[in-house]
Amino acid sequence: MTDSAAAPSAQARRPIALVTGPTSGLGASFARVLAERGHDLILVARNEERLRTLAKELADIYGATSEVIVADLATELGRDATAARLAQGVDVLVNNAGFLTDGEFWDTDLELLRDQLAVNVTAVLELTHAALPAMRAAGRGTVVNVASVSGLFTGPASTYSASKSWVVKFSEGLAHKLAADGIHMVALCPGFMDTEFHPRGGQDVSGVPKALWLDTDDVARTGLDDAANGRFVSIPGRRYKLFTTLDRIKPRRLVWRA
């Protein structure tokens, strides 16, 4: 469902950013940071009540106008509705929506795995494909694809990590070519953040050291700033930068050692 009545007017045009999964956590931080930086928003998620609450907050605090699209990106219908809006043109696309499944692959419900692939991979592919023609015609644009630091590590990855590894490779490969068109694309690879994400995925993170937790506002700013500065992969936090560097130089025989 699209609330076209809330769409930005043509007068005194502000840049427009579409953010998927903005109703909590990192997505909400992206929406707030973009509104703070002068953008109007297109907010895409399943929960209409949360979307409208966020839209009111962005209007009250930042004076930003928000268009609401109620869509489930695990479905073709939801992806098509969002892609149709992107085809009209946006200045920034943040592919943030995603979810985690925990446990062994062979014990996980196949439909759940298919939904995870649809949101984490297919939606990123289709929405980026929909946004790029207008961006290339305009000679400018920014795409932030939210991956994960887990997508950078080698080892017995879960389906979640494998999906985020795809996002990294997809974004990094495209970014090199799009730079010539004036378009900035970055794969954002955050670590642990204090959000609803891990509990929803059934992941116990109680033992994660405090030093490894990142602030979602800081992560959103880092992703946008790294994109603007021409980085293709963004890793927020010095510790995570160190971990991924060490993983790249670690002998492969150690990766699979129990």
Residues designated catalytic: 160
**Rounded (10°) CA dihedral 199, 161, 232, 13:** -40
Contact 188, 223 (CB under 8 A): yes
CA distances from 161 to 98, 101, 114, 149 (A): 11, 10, 15, 9
Q: What are phi and psi of 13, to 5 degrees?
A: -60, 130
Helices (H), 87-215: 110-117, 123-138, 159-178, 197-200
If phi over 0 gives left and psi between -120 and 50 gives alpha, with beta otherwise, what is residue 158? beta
Q: What tokens appear for 249 in the block?
A: 């130089």
The residue behind tokens 């090199």 is 176
The residue behind tokens 């490779």 is 169
Residues in Cβ contact with 193 at an 8 Å cutoff, skipping those fewer than 6 apart: 25, 26, 213, 214, 215, 216, 219
